[in-house]
Amino acid sequence: MLRHSLTVLLVFLLLGCQSLSSSRSLFDELGGMPVIEKITDNFIDEISFDQQIVQHFKESDIDRFRAKLIEQICVEAGGPCTYSGDSMVDVHTKMNITEAEFNRTVDLLINAMNKAGVAHRTQNKLLARLAPMRADIIYR
Ligand code: HEM
């Protein structure tokens, strides 16, 4: 009887943990807007330190880039935002971004997330949601 009660208890605990982890959005896991803003600011710093990547941003309105990227990360993470920027194809066309530059930019985003204290497994989830955009961004 005792063993049966313990088994029932264990099953409830396991189910509880499972629903807890699956109901938590990536947005919450990241730490919400303050951490998304921190990641974006760190990312802009990383870009400004990179001799090559920064060339693409010479003519850009960085305040706009910041605002649209925050919205986009928020939406991709399942947060309560709306993306009001242009499509990835429209934005990156005529930039001739190479695969190496794309990979380098991903490295800069990883640096930005590390500096914002985001756990690696959480970083990987965000990267997996951004990765499908690659084809819309490179060689355009
Ligand atoms: C997954 C990777 C990337 C994502 C999610 C992303 C996202 C964005 C977003 C949301 C914007 C703002 C759109 C708007 O203003 O309406 C933007 C603009 C921009 N992106 Fe990307 N981007 C990525 C990769 C890259 C790479 C690899 C480069 C260059 C090496 C790049 C260069 C730029 C530049 C220069 C702008 C500003 C365009 C302007 O001045 O209007 N992006 N990107």
The domain locations on the chain are 25-137
The confidence band for 42, taking pLDDT boundaries of 50, 70 and 90, is very high
The confidence band for 6, taking pLDDT boundaries of 50, 70 and 90, is low
pLDDT at site 114: 98
pLDDT at site 47: 98
Residue 52's identity, in one-letter code, is Q
Angle between helices 99-115 and 120-130 (to 10 degrees): 150
Question: What mean pLDDT value characterizes the chain?
Answer: 91
- Between CA 42 and CA 109 the distance in angstroms is 8
Ligand 1 mean position, distance from CA 124 (Å): 20
- Between CA 129 and CA 84 the distance in angstroms is 18
Atom of ligand 1 minimally distant from the CA of 61 = 40
pLDDT exceeds 80 at position 34 = yes
Are the CB atoms for 104 and 51 separated by under 8 Å?
Answer: no
Max Cα-Cα span within the chain: 73
pLDDT exceeds 80 at position 126 = yes
107 lines ligand 1 (CB under 6 A): no
pLDDT at site 76: 98
83 lines ligand 1 (CB under 6 A): no
Atom of ligand 1 minimally distant from the CA of 56 = 35
CATH 3.30.360.10 for domain 25-137: no
pLDDT exceeds 80 at position 21 = no
pLDDT at site 64: 98
Ligand 1 mean position, distance from CA 42 (Å): 15
Q: Between residues 49 and 17, which one has the greater pLDDT?
A: 49
Ligand 1 mean position, distance from CA 81 (Å): 18
67 lines ligand 1 (CB under 6 A): no
Per residue in 48-100, pLDDT (tens digit) is 999 999 999 999 999 999 999 999 999 999 999 999 999 999 999 999 999 99
Selection from 60, 53, 84 nearest residue 70 by Cα: 84
The confidence band for 23, taking pLDDT boundaries of 50, 70 and 90, is confident
b/e sequence 92-121, b meaning 16+ C-beta within 10 Å:
beeeebeeebbeebeebbbbbbeebebeee
Question: What is the secondary structure of 91-119 as a DSSP string?
Answer: HHTTS---HHHHHHHHHHHHHHHHHTT--
pLDDT at site 56: 97
Residue 60's identity, in one-letter code, is S
